[in-house]
Amino acid sequence: LKLTENTLLTPEGYDRDIRHYVFEIKGTPVRYNVGDCLAIFPRNSRESVDEFCAMYGLNPEDELRITSLPDARNPIPDELKVRQLFECVLDIYGKPNRRFYDQLALFAKDEEEKKTLETLTSDDPKGKEMYRNMSEDMVNHVDVLKAFPPPRPPLDQ
Per-residue pLDDT of 60-107, as tens digits, reads 999 999 887 888 777 788 899 999 999 999 999 998 988 999 999 999
pTM for this model (two decimals)? 0.72
CA dihedral 105, 122, 86, 13 (to 10 degrees): -120
Per-residue pLDDT of 12-35, as tens digits, reads 777 677 888 899 999 999 888 899
pLDDT for residue 10 is more than 70 = yes
For helices 111-120 and 98-105, give the axis angle rounded to 10 degrees.
Answer: 160
Is there a contact between 92 and 52 (Cβ–Cβ < 8 Å)? yes
- The predicted pLDDT at position 64 comes to 93
- The predicted pLDDT at position 153 comes to 83
Domains detected in the chain: 94-157 (1.20.990.10)
CA distances in angstroms from 157 to 18, 48, 104, 106, 153, listed in the order given:
31, 22, 12, 12, 7
Average pLDDT of the segment spanning 145-149? 85
Is there a contact between 46 and 87 (Cβ–Cβ < 8 Å)? yes
- The number of residues making up the chain comes to 157
Confidence of residue 148 (pLDDT cuts 50, 70, 90): confident
pLDDT for residue 137 is more than 80 = no
Decide: residue 111, CB within 10 A, 0-12 exposed, 13-18 middle, 19+ buried.
exposed
Report the C-alpha gap between 149 and 139 in whole angstroms.
Answer: 16
Confidence of residue 157 (pLDDT cuts 50, 70, 90): low
